[in-house]
């Protein structure tokens, strides 16, 4: 039982981690809590759904329930959602920044933008659920007593690859270094010649792309619906803050912890309270370490 709950927790945690990276970047590089981030997950999932509707999920490859078309759909969704995030910044947040608005005005605006984005999804695709593929899958026993779907193992592996690639990007590329510099201190980064607008743009695009990947994974297990991102909102923020805003390993570990807390708690308390777990975990951590597990004291 516990083993299975841990396995499920790691899987949920991986998806949360991918979304939480964007939230974490938002908190530290863009300097506000972007509550519209969860809607980027939803949009990513729906864009992939459109591609799949045209190309089909493909013939199942090996034990997986989909073919290469699904991967192509995810790539298209990542690019378009990245652009969508950037457009959102241009339309709303950049204007507010330039007006010198109160930092919390951006948070209000993010909630407003989230409402619009979430319900435009309902308007276009309707309130119901959709599936990428109707293929049936059988769980395989990966360890004694722990069963996972082949799709889920694939999702875990791909998440790991994405996180490693992101880590290399942040460590060695010029843009990545500039992003880290902005996270440390926007003013200092600016005087050192960092192109603030450029870094902001890349942060949005990257966050959107990662959100789309997370959204598609969420849609694979197992359905796509308008509230899918919003229902993860608290988990995403809990993960990002728990790990320490601005820290990539922090966001990943935060995501895993939140995923584990949600799934393992079900063994001990009424499953009806599963949704409160990320929040309770967050409160506990903030109480002891206000800067998060891996955050640095300001």
Partner 1 sequence: MIGLVSYLVFFLCIVLILGVITLGLNLQWGSTGLFNAGIVGFYAIGAYTHAIVTAAPKAGMIANMGLPWIAGVVAAMAATALVAWIVGLATIRLRGDYLAVATFGIATTIQLLTHNLEPLTGGSHGFSGIPRPLFDVLGSPFAFNLFYLGLLACVVALVYWALERMVRSPWGRVLRAIREDETAAVALGKSATRFRLEAFVVGSTLMGLAGALYVSFIGFVSPFDFVPILTFQIWAMVIIGGSGNNRGALLGALVVWTIWAATGIAVTKFVPVAYAAQGGAVQVILIGLLLVLALLFRPRGLIGEAAQVSRHAEKG
Point out which residues bind partner 1 (CB under 8 A): 27, 32-33, 35, 92, 95-96, 99, 101-105, 107-109, 111-116, 118-120, 122-123, 126-127, 233-234, 237-238, 241, 270, 272-273, 275-276, 278-280, 282-283, 286-287, 290
Residues in a beta bridge with 148: 140
Closest contact distance (angstroms) between CB of 194 and partner 1 is 23
Instruction: Mark residue 129 as left, alpha or beta (left: phi above 0; alpha: psi -120 to 50; beta: remaining).
Output: beta
Closest contact distance (angstroms) between CB of 100 and partner 1 is 10
> Which lies closer to partner 1 via its Cβ, residue 52 or residue 232?
232
Q: Which residue has the tokens 């457009």?
A: 87
| Dihedral sign for Cα atoms in the order 248, 206, 131, 137 | negative
**What is the rounded CA–CA span in Å between residue 28 and residue 11?**
26
> Which lies closer to partner 1 via its Cβ, residue 92 or residue 170?
92
Contact 159, 217 (CB under 8 A): yes
Contact 254, 20 (CB under 8 A): yes
Closest contact distance (angstroms) between CB of 188 and partner 1 is 20
Closest contact distance (angstroms) between CB of 164 and partner 1 is 28
Per-residue tokens: 83 = 């652009």
> Which lies closer to partner 1 via its Cβ, residue 164 or residue 283?
283
> Which lies closer to partner 1 via its Cβ, residue 33 or residue 77?
33
> Which lies closer to partner 1 via its Cβ, residue 172 or residue 287?
287
| C-alpha distance from residue 149 to each of 76, 82, 229 (Å) | 25, 29, 22
Per-residue tokens: 203 = 């942060």
Closest contact distance (angstroms) between CB of 69 and partner 1 is 29
Closest contact distance (angstroms) between CB of 95 and partner 1 is 6
Per-residue tokens: 195 = 């192109």
Closest to 37 (Cα-Cα) out of 93, 96, 75: 93
């Amino acid at each position: 039982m516990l083993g299975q709950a841990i396995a499920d927790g790691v899987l949920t945690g991986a998806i949360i981690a991918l979304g939480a990276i964007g939230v974490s970047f938002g908190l530290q590089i863009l300097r506000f809590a972007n509550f519209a981030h969860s809607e980027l997950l939803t949009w990513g999932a729906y864009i992939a759904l459109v591609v799949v509707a045209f190309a089909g999920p493909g013939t199942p490859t090996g034990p997986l329930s989909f073919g290469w078309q699904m991967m192509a759909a995810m790539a298209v969704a990542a690019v378009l959602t990245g652009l969508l995030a950037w457009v959102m910044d241009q339309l709303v947040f950049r204007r507010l920044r330039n007006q010198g608005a109160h930092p919390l005005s951006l948070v209000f605006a993010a909630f407003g933008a989230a409402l619009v984005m979430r319900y435009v999804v309902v308007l276009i695709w309707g309130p119901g659920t959709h599936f990428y593929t109707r293929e049936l899958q059988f769980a395989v026993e990966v360890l004694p007593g722990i069963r996972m779907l082949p799709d889920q193992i694939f999702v875990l592996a791909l998440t790991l690859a994405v996180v490693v690639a992101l880590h290399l990007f942040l460590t060695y590329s010029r843009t990545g270094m500039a992003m880290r510099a902005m996270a440390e201190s926007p003013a200092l980064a600016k005087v050192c010649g960092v192109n603030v607008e450029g870094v902001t743009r890349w942060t949005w695009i990257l966050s959107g792309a990662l959100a789309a990947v997370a959204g598609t994974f969420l849609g694979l297990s197992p359905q796509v619906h308008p509230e899918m991102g919003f229902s993860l909102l608290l988990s995403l923020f809990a993960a990002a803050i728990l790990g320490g805003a601005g820290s990539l390993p922090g966001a990943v570990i935060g995501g895993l912890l939140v995923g584990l807390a949600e799934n393992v708690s079900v063994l001990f308390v009424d499953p009806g309270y599963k949704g409160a777990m990320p929040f309770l975990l967050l409160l506990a951590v903030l109480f002891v370490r206000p800067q998060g597990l891996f955050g640095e004291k300001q």
